[in-house]
Each structure stands twice: as structure tokens, then as C-alpha cells.
A and B are shown apart, each in its own frame.
Chain A
Amino acid sequence: MATISIDGKHYEVEDGSNVLEAVLGLGLDLPYFCWHPALGSVGSCRQCALLQFQNADDDRGRIVMGCMTQVTDGMLLSLSDSRAKAFRADVIEALMTNHPHDCPVCAEGGECHLQDMTVMSGHRDRRYNGLKNTHVNQDLGPLIHHEMNRCIACYRCVRYYQDYAGGTDLAALGSHDHVYFGRHEDGTLESEFAGNLVEVCPTGVFTDKSLVHDYTRKWDLQSAPSICTACGVGCNTIPGERYGRLKRIHNRYHHEVNGYFLCDRGRFGGGWVNSERRLRQAGAQMSDGCFAPLTQEQAVQRLQTLCGADSKLWGIGSPRASLESNWMLRSLVGDEHYCPGFGPEQDALRAVMTALTEGGVATATLPEIEAADLVIIVGEDITQSAPRIALALRQSVRNLGLEQAANLGVQHWQDAAVRNIAQNTRSPLVEWVSASTRLADVATKTLTLAPTDIARMGFALAAALDEGAGVDGLTADQTTHVVQLASRVLGAKRPLIVSGCSSHDASVVYAAQALAAAVARRHAATRVVYTVPECNSVGVGLLKGTHKDLADVVAAAEAGHIDTLVVLENDLYRRMKKEWVTRLAAAVPNIVVLDALETSTCDAAQLVLPVASFTEAEGTLVNAEGRAQRFYPVVSDVGERLPGWQWLRLAAVGRANRSDLETLMHLDQVLEAIAAEQPQLDGIRAAAPDASYRDRVGLKAARQPHRYSGRTAMYADKTLHEPKTPVDEDAPLSFSMEGESHALPSALRSFVWDPGWNSNQSLHKFQAEIGGALKGGSAGIRLIEPKGQPAPGAYSVPAAFEPPLSGWYLTAQYRIFGSEEMSAHAPGILAVSAGPTLILSADDALQLALAADDGVTLITADGSVDCEVTVDPALPKGTVGFVVGHAHLLDLRAGETVSLEKKPGLMRRSEVIASDGVRVYG
């Protein structure tokens, strides 16, 4: 710690940090633009200036940039000296000379850091009366809107995009006062993390295109703390709502899960909740196959009839439904009739659950991933399967360079200096993957191998570290690699093993667990990351019970054991082959489907019930790290929809043995019941405060900022009276501006705002230390803590991969845009998703006379499917990859042998777009 004096007052601050961070950390205001807590300092904007004095006798002082000046013990500073203030006013006045002053039509208005800093720095009257520069804007694709004239050239965008996120297609162009931040030519930004520009840009240059088209100001948004449902990472988000529509999703800072950033699937993928395919009303299938709408009351009656006392009831749950809903279903149908509804990843997921709960190695938090000094990725294209983790891994490779900088006395936050020192130096990051990945640019080594060979590498390295028997039949190169890597592992301090379910191959996960155990025996600081495909895969995996497979459900149905099958938030076509769904539907007299979107499974149902989405309901999800996190509704008027668990609670009314369920009216009661029954889930109650939190003080946490406007006017077309504030009995949050918005536990904060700080930059007011945990600790609670010794798990080395004698071995390939079911329905995501794609090696493409975008027919035992071709020169011989989750490819399975035929007729995607002349967004 260091003692510094600011305007004559003494403060204790962190040694080695910079003055700007220290000042903000003390809760004082100092304006800034180019500094960003995650990006560090470069000193370009000059806005954070203050006065530093040599000693007590120095009354002149000199202007220094807070962000570029290291805190030293005894330093004397002034924020409020008139010279410092005048300098800051000069800076903002200069920055604004070319600004178009178009705040009224700017999507950033009201949450604009530039607006805030303009006021804070004391610039009001415009004295520059010359001409302004104007720029031509670019079309950056369906997700991000570009308005260059608002630019103040803080360089944050390119520093974020290139240096932090590894994007290459956004650059600073031109020079002097003609600098321009954009692409070389119009086109969709390529980075999967481009959406963060919306929050990184302190003005309105980069804004959320969907928000621009359907605009509401921040102060008119109703928000709630939420969790991203688009993958297993569980990033914390803030959805914003008005008029019942989701308007946008912003990052919600969580020090240990997502920090300052989201991926684009998370940011733009929530749009499905506004989709035309949302189920708004219950429906009963009639004899003609059409659905007749039912009122909620009628629907409940039907449901209770179908689930009546003597009905033989089975249920299929869902890894994308909340823990509460899954638990309620399981309770309703009974443990032995409950199937969690996992898909083709099931074996790998089960292996992950074992590794998590019994592997004895702790999962990494976000800061731990970023701090790793050696990363081994076992079979995951992590950018596609758990994107936010990939962004963190990009930071980890900087550690060696940071160390070099530290040796020269340069602090980590001196961003440009560190990068100049580090140049291309990278900490080791080794990938064993089954196709080219987006991390290849930072990987020190990438091996592309068939999944079984990936597993063999893992076991081989584990064996090398444990000095055990090696793996037979490795190639000479593989052996050398293993030997070299083993010695690097020994030299590392904070190794990290990354693996997961994406290959759909359990042996890969077994190998990762064995490897992690071997590494952890060498280094206590070893961490693991296992990806899982869905937002609650781990939560469902943690529910104890007998847990039937889908095959068991089909068998039971065909044996006549099922009268009514309740399918909770699950499109069965994504979980099992079509033929099985048909057989199941034929064998079960009554199928009840509860879902938020209309899916193909609904067609097989006798009763369809509309389920509230993550923006409309409250619930608990457990992320891949094992952290239980709560999401809250942001929309108050959910119409006929109910949360899944509420429907299921009502279904239990007629069932004699489970009448207890009926009494679980509120979420807190459900949580109690879960905890009572399943001690391993006891922690979920503490994931967020209960609904009675703040009851004593009488004010819940506010979902609306103080300036929320138009409470009466908003509904003036319906009623002239101000509608009564809806009451949320299940949450400690109010649908109102009345309530606490500041002194709150982080799990309950719906937005960040502080006087003078209307943008997301106000976050530092809520952090215990800049860039660190929020005051009052991080939200959520970890349910899994490693116990016992690192355990190597199932140690069965698979045979080396042999390319099939005829045909190709299918490997599963995830895509950030398109593989996930719900986000694929968001318009922005749809626009950037590829069609049904088959990935071929360059040799195979040549042999089949196929080029990228050509058509190919893929023939399996079940039938055939037409795909577009992508060529990946790194694909292992004998394999072809298929994109998981694409509607046309749901019947494909990793590990199957398939044959291929050129399909001459298929139009290239580019031609389809050109001939339609239609683009989803302009």
C-alpha cells in the first residue's frame, strides 16, 4: 500500500497501480476516455489529467496523466486545482470540435460516457467555429451500427478489437485529425466478440443495430439481473425491456465469470424472445392436427386431466430449462420416470460431470483462466462452444510478455509499453483439436487429430507426467511433442487444462481428466475448464436420481408404460434421431410439451403450454464451472405464459402422492424443497437473496432507473390511469423505479448508474477495487468444490484412429452462430449463421472436385442430406466435420461413417443471397 495526498487529504491506495485507477477506486471523479480497466492505459485522450507536485514546496506542480502515472508512496496530487480543471476542460473542448452534437438521434444518448465526461469536465459553450470533419459510415453487418462522425479518437475500439479480442478486420486508418476507425471496406465484422464495441466505445460510434432499429433510451429501459442462456459459461447479463419487448442485452459485470465482456451470441442471441415463433397461448391438438387455443384455466384443467392420479406419467427434462423446472418435473413424474433429455453429447457430458465432481481439480474462474501460464486444450474449439472462455484464453497467452515487461519495471497496465516489449512472445497454449480453430493465431502449437487420437495424446501426456506406462503407437512427432510438453508442464506455475463435450466423445473427457489429475499432482494451482453445451447442463447433471436415457423412454413407451409424457423445454428432434421421435409419438397416447418457442416437437403434442422465457421468469442455472446463478424476469406482463415449474406444480394437483408440490407457490419454496431433498444443491438458496430480502426496509430492488419516464403515457392507448405497479412476489425486485438501486448485493443489481455517471462506466462505483470483485462479493455460488486427491478417472486409452476404408468418419463441429438452439432464432444471429455445412479436408475436396460453397450430399445409414462445403486444410485425414445443431443436420452423429457425393445442383449460398436480393438487416 502507498499513502498519497490528493488535494491535501491523505489516502491509502494500492502500490503499483496507476493514479487514475487509484482515484476512481477512492470513489473520486476523474474523467477519462482511452483508459479501460480491462485494456489498460495508453495516454492518448489526455482527459485524466491532474496536477502532481514534486514536494511540499512545489506550488506550481505539473500536469500528468492519471492513467500513465504510477502510484508511489508519498506522492502529492491535486484533482481540483484550477489548472488541472482548466486542462481537462481544454481537452474535452478539443475532442468536441468535430463532434456532430447529434445526441437527440444517437443510440448512446443518456448512457453516453462522452456526454458524462463533457459535463464533468466543464465544457458547455462551443467556442470552435470552424468547419467540422465529416466521415462516411460503413455497413459493419447485421449486428453493429457505425456512425464515425461521433468518434473522439480514443482508440479504445481498435485496442479492444485487435489487441484484446484478436480481431484483424477493424483498424485505425488515416492520421492526424482524419483518423478513421473501421474496416478496409464495408462488411460484417468478423470477430465473435465485436459486440463488446458497443460498450467499449465511449460514444455512439459503435451501437447495437437491433437497438438502433427498435430504440429506447437507457433510462426508459426496465432491466433485471440475468444469466445468458446461450451456452454453459453462464455470463451475467442485463436484458433491457420496454413495451414488453426485449430491446438489448448488456454485459453485467461478474469478476469471476465474464468480467466486462460477452460474446456476440450472448449479446445478440436473446432476440429469440421477441420472435414470431414464441408460444403465447396454450393449445390443444385437434383431430385435424390443428391446435385450438386454450385459456390458461382450460389449459390447466387439460393438464391436470392428462396428469391425473392414475395416469402413467413420464417426463423429459431439459438442460436449457431451469433447475426449478427440471426438479419439479422430476418430482411430478417420479425419479424413475424422469429423463434429463440430454442429446448426443450425453456420454461426454456424463464424463464431464464425473470429472467435475470427482476429478479433484478445481474449475477455473475467469481471472484464473487469464492468469494461466500454460494452457492445454483437449478437443475443444472453445471459441465456438464456450466463446467467453476463448476471449479469456487470448489474455492468458500474454503472461510471458507481461513477465518480461515486469522484469523491466513496466507495470501490466502500461498497455502499449507491455505490447512493445512482448512483441510476439506468448505463453504456451497447445491445442489438440479436430479442425482448425479461431485460437490458432495465439496457439503456440495446434495439432489436428481425430477425437480418439486427441484422447490418446491426453493419456500419453498424463502418463509422461506420472512416469507411468506410455501410450503405444504414437507417431514420432506425437512422442516428441508429448516429451516437450511434459517438460513445459513441469516448468509452469499455473497450468490450465481445457476440455469438454464438443467432440461428443467421452474418451476425450476421460483423457482430459487423467491429464488434469497428473498435472495437478505437480502443481496445486492447476485448474480445469470443461465446456458443456447448454446453460443448465451441469445443473441438470447435478440432480441426483436414476435418470433415464431417451432410449429408455422410447422403450417404456413402446412397452405401453407411458400414458402421458411431459416434455419440458426440449425439442426432441435435437436430442434423438427423427425416427425415434416418430416411434415415441406413436407409442405415447398423450404428449404435453412445455416450451417457449414453437418447435417440431410441438406437432407431436396433444397439449402445448407456453413457457415464460428467461426474460419473463425467475430461476436458477448452474454453469460449467458449477456456479449456481439466478436470473430474474425483466418483463412484467407475461400474458398467458407461466414459468415451467409453475405449470408443472399445477399439473401435480390431481396426483395424490405429490399434492405437496401444489403448495410450492413461490420460487423460494421450491428452492427450499430442492435443498431439502438434494443436499448437494443446498447452495442454490444462497445463489441470490430470497424474495423477502429488503422486506424489512420496505423497498425492493428497483428494475427501473429513477428517470424512467412515461409510466402513464406508455399505456395511454389502453387506459388513462397509471397502471398499478405489477407485484413480483417471487423476487426481491420491483417493477418500478421505486426501490434501492445502489446499495445492493450484486445478484440484485439491475443496472449501474451513479450521479454523473450514466453510462456503464459507472461500474467502478460498484467495484470493491477497480477491475476486481463487486462490493459485497460476486453473485452466485459454487456448488462443486474439489475434494480429495486429483483422481485420474477412467483410464482407458482408445485405439489409434484409422480412417475408414471407405467413407469418412464424422466429427462434430460447433459454431458460435447457429449451433445453439434458441439464439439461432434471434434475427441478428440468424443473419450471421452459416447454412448446413460440411467441413472437408483440402485433399478430400480436391479428390471430390469440390470447392468452398459447393454442394455435397452426405449419405448415412438413415438417409441423406445436402450440405454446403467448407474446406479446412487442417482436417485430419479420413474425417469430415458437420455443424452441430443445424436444423438440417440433426440426425448426424459424431463417429458415424458416411459417404459423400458431389451435388451439382445446390446453389452456393452467396448466389442464393444475391438472387434473393434480400438481407436480413441493412
Chain B
Amino acid sequence: MTDLDVIPTLSPEEIAEIEHEVALIPRRDSAAIDALMIVQRHRGWVSDSSLKAIAALLEMSPEELDGIATFYNLIYRQPVGEQVILFCDSVSCWLRNGDGVKEKLSELLGIDYGQTTADGRYTLIPVPCLGACDRAPVMMVGDDLHTHLDDCDLASLLTCEANHD
């Protein structure tokens, strides 16, 4: 059956992680969000074929799963750079010159929101309030939060990020 054909596109690790989530809950399809996040953690984003594979594993249709995938902000249905920069565009950061910092960052990287740098390193995405308003303006690069961006040298911050990976 075609459904079974696509499962092998998920790695054994991915499948094991997803099955671990499934085991905790009463319905297989309830693991949809976890499964999408797991696969995204491994691959950076959720491609059409990944989506189909996850759907088959969870015994749901690609449509049902895509309805979920496209609902959430943090599930990427398009390729992203090696690192995603989530730049806070909410009110407290705005009050603390968030827009100005964003402009500088865009200039530095040569990309606007929704774009990926030519070298494929970064994708820049706006994010609602990161809950660090006392340290505004802020952004996340990958898993790391960076605060007080108004007073910092963005270029060396990014170099630093690149080095500690």
C-alpha cells in the first residue's frame, strides 16, 4: 500500500520519538503537533513528503495533518536556514526601538521577514512577544534568547552564535 511506502522516509529515531508521544495519550492523532515538532527538530522544517509520512504514521490524512501544521506559527512548511531568528515585533520591544534594531539586522543579513540569507544560514521570522519585555528588545537565534539588543553589536552576536554551535 502506498501509505506504508512513505513511512520509511522517517528515520527510526523520529519514529521512536513519535511513538513515545503516542504511547502517552489516548488517541494516535493527538500526537500530531508533537510529531510535527519532532520531525522539524530533526530536519529543520516539514516538507510535503515528511508531512505525508507523519500523517501515515499517525493514521490520518495529509489534509488533516496539514490543517494542523499550517495553523501553528512554529511549524515551518517551507525550508528555513540553518538557524531561525525569531525577532520579537511586539509592543514592549517596539517601545524600546525594536523596529530600529530589526532594520539594522535586516541590513546586516540582507533579508527581510520571511526570507533566508543567500548562504542559507539564517531565516528571519517575526515572533509575538517573547516574554522578556523587561530586557527588550529581544530575539531568539535558534534556541537562544538574546536581550537588550539596542545596546549590542548584532554582528558579533551572530558570529558568537555561529561559533558556539
Residue ranges of A at the interface with B (Cβ–Cβ < 8 Å): 162, 168-175, 180, 183-185, 423-424, 871, 873
Residue numbers in A under 8 Å from B63 (CB-CB): 168-171, 173, 183-184
Task: Give a binary string over B67-109; 1 marks a CB under 8 Å from any A CB, 0 the rest.
Answer: 1001100000000000000000000000000000000000000
B46 CB to nearest chain A CB (Å): 12
Whether the pair A184, B51 counts as a contact (CB closer than 8 A) is yes
A192 CB to nearest chain B CB (Å): 16
**What are 16 pairs between A and B in contact, CB < 8 Å?**
A162-B64, A168-B60, A168-B63, A169-B63, A170-B63, A171-B64, A173-B66, A173-B67, A174-B71, A180-B70, A183-B63, A184-B48, A184-B63, A184-B66, A423-B27, A871-B1
Task: Decide if the interface of chain A is mainly helix, strand, loop or mixed.
Answer: loop
Cβ-based interface call for B126 (8 A): no
Cβ-based interface call for B40 (8 A): no
* Nearest residue, chain A, Cβ from B52: A184
Task: List the 8 shortest-distance A-B pairs measured between CB atoms, nearest first.
Answer: A168-B61, A171-B67, A171-B63, A184-B62, A184-B63, A173-B70, A184-B66, A174-B70
Please measure, in the bound complex, the distance between the C-alpha atom of A535 and the C-alpha atom of B1, giving whole angstroms: 36
A254 CB to nearest chain B CB (Å): 32
Please measure, in the bound complex, the distance between the C-alpha atom of A175 and the C-alpha atom of B63, giving whole angstroms: 14
Whether the pair B48, A175 counts as a contact (CB closer than 8 A) is no
Residue numbers in A under 8 Å from B61 (CB-CB): 168-169, 171, 184
Give me 10 other A-B pairs in contact (C-beta within 8 A), A171-B66, A184-B48, A185-B48 excluded: A169-B61, A169-B63, A171-B61, A171-B64, A171-B67, A172-B67, A173-B66, A174-B71, A175-B70, A423-B27
Please measure, in the bound complex, the distance between the C-alpha atom of A25 and the C-alpha atom of B66, giving whole angstroms: 39
B72 CB to nearest chain A CB (Å): 8
Residue ranges of B at the interface with A (Cβ–Cβ < 8 Å): 1, 27, 48, 51, 60-64, 66-67, 70-71
A21 CB to nearest chain B CB (Å): 29
Residue of B60, B63, B66, B71 ringed by the most chain A CB atoms within 10 A: B63
Residue numbers in B under 8 Å from A172 (CB-CB): 67
Please measure, in the bound complex, the distance between the C-alpha atom of A245 and the C-alpha atom of B67, giving whole angstroms: 40
A467 CB to nearest chain B CB (Å): 38
* Nearest residue, chain A, Cβ from B51: A184
Please measure, in the bound complex, the distance between the C-alpha atom of A582 and the C-alpha atom of B21, giving whole angstroms: 65
Residue numbers in B under 8 Å from A183 (CB-CB): 63
Residue numbers in B under 8 Å from A871 (CB-CB): 1
A120 CB to nearest chain B CB (Å): 31
Residue numbers in B under 8 Å from A170 (CB-CB): 63
B61 CB to nearest chain A CB (Å): 4
Please measure, in the bound complex, the distance between the C-alpha atom of A647 and the C-alpha atom of B43, giving whole angstroms: 72
Please measure, in the bound complex, the distance between the C-alpha atom of A185 and the C-alpha atom of B55, giving whole angstroms: 14
A170 CB to nearest chain B CB (Å): 6
Residue numbers in A under 8 Å from B51 (CB-CB): 184
* Nearest residue, chain B, Cβ from A161: B63
Residue numbers in B under 8 Å from A162 (CB-CB): 64
Given the contacts A174-B71, A184-B51, A423-B27, A168 and B64 also touching, CB distance less than 8 Å: yes
A347 CB to nearest chain B CB (Å): 35
* Nearest residue, chain A, Cβ from B55: A184
Residue numbers in B under 8 Å from A424 (CB-CB): 27
A190 CB to nearest chain B CB (Å): 9
Please measure, in the bound complex, the distance between the C-alpha atom of A185 and the C-alpha atom of B47, giving whole angstroms: 13
* Nearest residue, chain B, Cβ from A441: B59
Residue numbers in B under 8 Å from A171 (CB-CB): 61, 63-64, 66-67
Please measure, in the bound complex, the distance between the C-alpha atom of A871 and the C-alpha atom of B3, giving whole angstroms: 13
Please measure, in the bound complex, the distance between the C-alpha atom of A174 and the C-alpha atom of B66, giving whole angstroms: 9
A702 CB to nearest chain B CB (Å): 43
* Nearest residue, chain B, Cβ from A173: B70
A414 CB to nearest chain B CB (Å): 22
Residue numbers in B under 8 Å from A175 (CB-CB): 70-71
Please measure, in the bound complex, the distance between the C-alpha atom of A180 and the C-alpha atom of B69, giving whole angstroms: 13
Please measure, in the bound complex, the distance between the C-alpha atom of A826 and the C-alpha atom of B85, giving whole angstroms: 55
